[in-house]
């Protein structure tokens, strides 16, 4: 039994794709699913053209904007491994959600548009991965187009993202002259053919960089290529598994997602090198994935995944043991047992009932609002998983309603949206209007449309003269009480019941911090 659980955990690979919008995340996701046989036809993941919508594209606002507001989870098998791919919203306004998804993965695939290089959102996301030293695999995409110089791209990743690059493949040409890639570790050349996704055969492989067949095929290019590869091998880092697992070095692959070129190498890298689920820290102890008893934590809550099911889904990452359908699991924060009979997983665009799940897998628990982000579940042992971050919002709005009789609905709606992590809600000490905090402005639009659609409340958002928020704490309760008394005007309580200081400007924050040296002002709040 124990052996089986350990074996199952070892077979798992759980990762997310991080990229700037338009780098090719959706295209690559689709190719990964096609490649593994999880989906049969292109256009299932994002249906701009086919008219179908992805798992995550159900909200009107998403459809209007053609962006993926919410994350979803896809599971597929590859080479006797079970791979969980967690989708992250690419739009920067939803980065909070993305950050939390990244706490539930064991590795990340960074996709870079090779014509553009490192972009803003990639930098932010990589910084989040760094908080947990998440191993990163890099894919330089769009080599079927004119792109930037490959060595320059590696330099940029190293200097901007502060992670060393180890090219595993190397491109031969680009754009119309894209010939394929040389696999440095395997000493093989994979020949590129445009439109390859439509081909029934596999890409041709030529063994050995000195193979005379290459000179026949590319008489003009081979001398240069051999010289370039010698240079690359001398100038760049060799792949090293330990450094990759420590998040210090990233293997780099080159290709073209749309042509399905380079996809197999990425999957192989994930299966061969990316870590299986590791031990995970709870306040009480580190929990190992191969332990017999089930445990996990909720990293994301999603409302209305499907208009037919008007419930919320809590996404739980399994950290240990075996989950089997119908078993009783304990919701530790409220100390209540639930019979998890309707737990779901997400394949392609349909909900499926989960029969069993192991460390690394994600399960969805339908609920009516009693599960919050960061909640831990187990078979009974008290475990409090840590490390789910909330970030200090950068945008604020006061919120009023047109119809005062709807105050209760507004409060209920905002409390639930706050718990879901869709927006941060602050209740001022001085009893003024509720304040909403967000990382991106689109979050306010989503909240307004959901308040109207789900709670029947027409809310009005006013600008609020708040510059930033800090969660405050102090080990000395007396000092904290003094601080609260003196700063009531600027204090509020968030949806999780935590005390926050809302600063009108940077100067005010600095002065307050100087005046109250014993008080800790936190820029991020880790749940629990």
Under the rule (CB under 6 A), what is the footprint of ligand G4P?
19, 21-27, 48, 90, 141-142, 144-145, 256-259
Nearer to ligand G4P, 66 or 307 (CB): 66
The answer to whether 80 is a known ligand-binding residue is: no
Closest to ligand G4P by CB, 24 or 289: 24
Q: Least separation, in Å, of the C-beta of 77 and ligand G4P?
A: 23
CB 422 within 8 A of CB 447: yes
Q: How many CA atoms lie within 13 A of 283 on its CB side?
A: 13
Nearer to ligand G4P, 11 or 20 (CB): 20
Q: Is 219 annotated as a binding residue?
A: no
Nearer to ligand G4P, 85 or 214 (CB): 85
Residue 185's DSSP bridge partners are none
Q: How far is CA 305 from CA 74, 313, 357, 497, in A?
A: 14, 7, 21, 27
Q: Tokens 């192989």 belong to which residue?
A: 268
User: Which residue number, 48 or 506, has a Cβ lying nearer to ligand G4P?
Assistant: 48
Query: Backbone phi, then psi, for 444, in 5-degree steps?
Result: -65, -40
> Quick count: other Cβ atoms within 10 Å of Cβ 53?
16
Min CB(142)–ligand G4P separation in Å: 4
Least distance CB 327 / ligand G4P (angstroms)? 37
The secondary structure of residue 215, as a DSSP letter, is H
Nearer to ligand G4P, 259 or 376 (CB): 259
Q: Is 93 annotated as ligand-binding?
A: no
Q: Shortest gap between Cβ of 260 and ligand G4P (angstroms)?
A: 9
Determine if residue 150 is labeled as part of a ligand binding site: no
Residue nearer to ligand G4P on the CB measure, 24 or 440: 24
User: Which residue, 257 or 344, has its beta carbon nearer to ligand G4P?
Assistant: 257
142 is in an annotated binding site: yes
Do the annotations mark residue 458 as ligand-binding? no
Report the b/e string of 424-458 with b at 16+ CB within 10 A: bbbbbbeeebbbbbbbbebbbbbbbebbeeebebe
190 has binding-site annotation: no
List the alpha helices (DSSP H) in 297-355: none
**What DSSP letter does each residue of 128-159 carry, written as one string?**
HHHHTT--EEEEEE-TTS----HHHHHHHHHH
Q: 373: number of CA atoms within 13 Å, CB side? A: 31
Partners of residue 206 on adjacent β-strands: 189
CA triple 108-259-42, angle to 5 deg: 80
**Least separation, in Å, of the C-beta of 380 and ligand G4P?**
42
90 is in an annotated binding site: yes
Kindly state the smallest distance separating residue 316's Cβ from ligand G4P, in Å. 26
Task: Please list the residues that pair with 85 across neighbouring strands.
Answer: 15, 74
Is residue 78 marked as binding?
no
Nearer to ligand G4P, 128 or 435 (CB): 128
CB of 36 to ligand G4P, least distance (A): 17
91 assigned to a ligand binding site: yes
- Identify the three-state secondary structure at position 26: helix
In the numeric block, the tokens 């680009």 are attached to 174
* Token duo for residue 334: 């409220």
Nearer to ligand G4P, 197 or 248 (CB): 197
Shortest Å distance, C-beta 504 to ligand G4P:
37
DSSP SS3 for 267 = helix
Please tell me whether 20 is known to bind a ligand: yes
Q: What is the DSSP track for 41-61?
A: STTSS--TTTS---TTTTSHH
Considering the complex, what minimum distance in angstroms separates the CB of residue 45 from ligand G4P? 9
Other residues' Cβ atoms within 10 Å of the Cβ of residue 177: 10
Residue 88, annotated as binding a ligand = yes
Residue 236 CB, shortest distance to ligand G4P, in Å, is 23
SS3 94: helix
Q: Tokens in use for 367?
A: 């609920």
- Residue 87 marked ligand-binding: yes
- The CA distance from 367 to 353, in Å, is 15
Annotated binding residues for GTP: 19-26, 87-91, 141-144
Pick out the residues of the known binding site. 19-26, 87-91, 141-144
């Amino acid at each position: 039994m124990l052996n089986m659980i350990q074996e199952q955990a070892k077979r798992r690979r759980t990762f997310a794709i991080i990229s700037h919008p338009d780098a090719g995340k959706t295209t690559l996701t689709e190719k990964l699913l096609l490649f593994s046989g999880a989906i049969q036809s292109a256009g299932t993941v994002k249906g701009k053209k086919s008219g179908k919508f992805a798992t995550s594209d159900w909200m009107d606002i998403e459809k209007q904007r053609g962006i993926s507001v919410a994350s979803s989870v896809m599971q597929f098998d590859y080479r006797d491994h079970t791979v969980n791919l967690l989708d992250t919203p690419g739009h920067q306004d939803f980065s909070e959600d993305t950050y939390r998804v990244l706490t539930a993965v064991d590795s990340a695939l960074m996709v870079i548009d090779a014509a553009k290089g490192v972009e803003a959102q990639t930098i932010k996301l990589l910084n989040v991965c760094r908080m947990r030293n998440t191993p990163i695999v890099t894919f330089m995409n769009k080599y079927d187009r004119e792109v930037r110089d490959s060595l320059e791209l590696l330099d940029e990743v190293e200097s901007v993202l502060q992670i060393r690059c180890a090219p595993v493949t190397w491109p031969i040409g680009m754009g119309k002259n894209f010939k394929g890639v040389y696999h440095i570790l395997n000493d093989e050349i994979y020949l590129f053919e445009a439109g390859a996704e439509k081909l029934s055969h596999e890409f041709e492989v030529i063994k050995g960089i000195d193979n005379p067949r290459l000179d026949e095929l590319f008489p003009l290019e081979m001398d240069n290529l051999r010289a370039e590869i010698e240079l690359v091998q001398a100038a760049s880092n060799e792949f090293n598994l330990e450094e990759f697992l420590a998040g210090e070095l990233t293997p780099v692959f080159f290709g073209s997602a749309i042509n399905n070129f380079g996809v197999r190498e990425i999957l192989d890298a994930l299966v061969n090198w990316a870590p299986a689920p590791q031990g995970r820290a709870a306040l009480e102890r580190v929990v190992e994935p191969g332990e017999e008893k089930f445990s996990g934590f909720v990293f994301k809550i999603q409302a209305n995944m499907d208009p037919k099911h008007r419930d919320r889904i809590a996404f739980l990452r399994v950290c240990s043991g075996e989950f089997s359908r119908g078993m009783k699991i304990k919701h530790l924060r409220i100390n209540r047992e639930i019979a998890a009979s309707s737990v779901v997983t997400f394949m392609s665009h349909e909900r499926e009932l989960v029969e069993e799940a192991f460390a690394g897998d994600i399960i969805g628990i339908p609920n009516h609002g009693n599960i919050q982000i960061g909640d831990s579940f187990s078979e009974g042992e008290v475990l409090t998983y840590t490390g789910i971050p909330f970030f200090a919002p950068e945008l604020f709005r006061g919120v009023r309603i047109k119809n005062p009789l709807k105050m209760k609905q507004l409060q209920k709606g905002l409390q639930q949206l706050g718990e879901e992590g869709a927006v941060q809600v602050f209740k001022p000490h001085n009893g003024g209007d509720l304040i909403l905090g967000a990382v991106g402005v689109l979050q306010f639009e989503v909240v307004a449309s959901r308040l109207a659609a789900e709670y029947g409340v027409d809310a009005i958002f006013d600008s609020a003269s708040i510059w930033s928020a800090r969660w405050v704490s102090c080990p000395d309760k007396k000092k904290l009480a003094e601080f609260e008394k003196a700063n009531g005007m600027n204090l509020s309580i968030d949806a999780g019941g935590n005390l926050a200081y809302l600063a009108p400007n940077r100067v005010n924050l600095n002065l307050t911090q100087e005046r109250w040296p014993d008080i800790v002002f936190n820029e991020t709040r880790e749940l629990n």
